[in-house]
Amino acid sequence: MILSQFIFVPLLAAFLIVLFARKKENVAAIIALAACAWILIVAVIGFLKLPAHGGLILENTSGWKIPYTIALVLDNLSSFMLIVVSLIGFLSAFYSVQYLNHFNGKWNFFALFMLMMTGMNGVILTGDFFNLFVFMEISLYSAYALVAFGTESEELEAAFKYALMGAITSTMILFGIGILYSYTSTLTMADVGLQLSHSGTPKLLFLVYGLFIAGFGLKTALVPFHAWLPDAHPSAPAPISAMLSGVLIKTLGVYAIVRIFFNVFGAPTVVLQILMLLAILSIVIGGFLSIVQWDFKRLLGFSSISQIGYVVLGFALGTPLGILGGILHLFYHAIFKSLLFMDSGAVEYATDTRDLRQLGGLSKEMKVTSSTTMVGTLSIAGIPPFNGFFSKLIIIIACIQAGRVVLGIIAALVSIVTLAYFLKVQKHAFYGKKGSAKVLEKVPLAMKAVMIVLAALCLLSSLIMIPPIREKYISPIVDTVRGKTSYIQNIEPYFDTGSIK
């Protein structure tokens, strides 16, 4: 299993598009789709093969061994994340092919899209702090450019805001990495964890915790670091909104937080409590701010803040059930939020507006969009048997089991708020009185196909909850997150012992 292909295939695709597909836009789409399909297939193979390798595949790059080189690490958690990213990436790329008919410069879009995939795959696979920072910047910079892709003043403003806030917090992360490096003299995550486990908890480490919570908290869009998201998500083209909300905030934010705080720092209680507080704030504030929105995509953006709060809450509980809920909600949210963003894209494509006050009565003219939005609504609101029900239920039960009854009740109540603002979308966009906006154009087949696939996944992914499947595929991931030192112990045999003195 060659792990570096997750990084060099999309990277190569990005530059091949720049080189060959500048005049031929279909070639750009074909190269991007082929690279995405490749990654998806390899990610699935990796996930299935992993148990045979003892749950860990490690690849040293260049000629040395860790800690003298950068290692790529595929364990249960990263392999799961790779599948989520490549699945949503492939579907978004497929959706973009026809969605971009209204834009100029398809090749630009696909080249940036592939760079974003490179960055995210890199963040997921890397076992090195500085490498994590570099890949994070690669995907962030492509995300800035993609948010500004329409080059309207509003989009440029959103991208500028995102870039500014992203740059400040990236500096914080770099600063934190610098402090860690000066203290431990190593950048390999497992080695940092190993050295810290010998030296106890120096006071310096709390500064690093703070810097990382602020840094990765902004990438996750947790309240109070959320200000960029409601601007950036509506401004980006719909497939990019789906990518940003579906996987980017989860990879750069949630995954990085889980990997660093759980596997390297051993889940310190103080951090878990802070994360719990930020998560519950996000759930409540994101939920209530969504209700008052009239822009379809802006509403979805605030909803993302609320839902990512659920994911972080699950992880921050630190119990096996909570982590299971967090992992499942992360996967399910990627599916239904991408679906909803693509639905909003289809509405915008057809009617040229996303203002809910102008829309209305679209259910007769846009049957596929209307019914897939209904599926997305039922999933996100947590109506059984759709996937969102199971993950939210697990998180709420985990809260009560961990003795945080108040948090559980708040999470359950905001779930009703979620239903409320999505019923608002249903009433004002698809049912109710006919609005002033007319259907100008039919939604192309490829866009419809992707929405139907995602809607089907909303139902099918509930099957993960069947106990034998859950035991086989999801429990190892929970163990990886929970086993605070198992990540370090698994990597320790790969360390260089004495070839460099």
Partner 1 sequence: MQNNFPNEGMSVIVKTITRFTVWLIFLYGLYIVIHGHLSPGGGFAGGVIVALSYVHLTLAYGKNFVLDRINKFAMNSLEAIAAILIVLTGIVGLWLVGRFLANFLGIGTLYTLLSAGYIPILNIFICVKVGMGLYLVFYYLASFKPQEG
Chain residues that interact with partner 1, rule: CB under 8 A: 2, 4, 8, 11-12, 15-16, 18-19, 22, 59-63
At which residue do the structure tokens 């894209």 appear? 345
d(CA 301, CA 233): 6
Compare residues 60 and 475 and give the one whose CB is closer to partner 1. 60
Residue closest to 310 by CA, chosen among 211, 220, 421, 376: 220
At which residue do the structure tokens 């500048």 appear? 22
Compare residues 62 and 269 and give the one whose CB is closer to partner 1. 62
Is 101 in a helix, a strand, or coil? helix
d(CA 253, CA 216): 5
- Judge contact between 308 and 220, C-beta under 8 A: yes
Q: At closest approach, how far in Å is the CB of 4 from partner 1?
A: 4
d(CA 333, CA 247): 9
Q: At closest approach, how far in Å is the CB of 175 from partner 1?
A: 22
Question: Helices 106-125 and 129-147 sit at what angle, rounded to 10 degrees?
Answer: 160
d(CA 242, CA 383): 22
Compare residues 12 and 281 and give the one whose CB is closer to partner 1. 12
Burial-class residue 52 by CB neighbours within 10 Å (0-12, 13-18, 19+): exposed
d(CA 58, CA 4): 10
Q: At closest approach, how far in Å is the CB of 216 from partner 1?
A: 27
Q: At closest approach, how far in Å is the CB of 14 from partner 1?
A: 8
Compare residues 13 and 242 and give the one whose CB is closer to partner 1. 13
Compare residues 23 and 433 and give the one whose CB is closer to partner 1. 23
Residue closest to 57 by CA, chosen among 101, 2, 106, 107: 2
Q: At closest approach, how far in Å is the CB of 190 from partner 1?
A: 18
Residues 6+ apart with CB under 8 A from 500: 64, 68
Q: At closest approach, how far in Å is the CB of 60 from partner 1?
A: 6
Q: At closest approach, how far in Å is the CB of 12 from partner 1?
A: 5
- Judge contact between 362 and 439, C-beta under 8 A: yes
Q: At closest approach, how far in Å is the CB of 332 from partner 1?
A: 34
d(CA 491, CA 500): 19
Compare residues 3 and 36 and give the one whose CB is closer to partner 1. 3
Compare residues 109 and 296 and give the one whose CB is closer to partner 1. 109
C-alpha 384 chain-centroid distance? 24
Compare residues 11 and 177 and give the one whose CB is closer to partner 1. 11
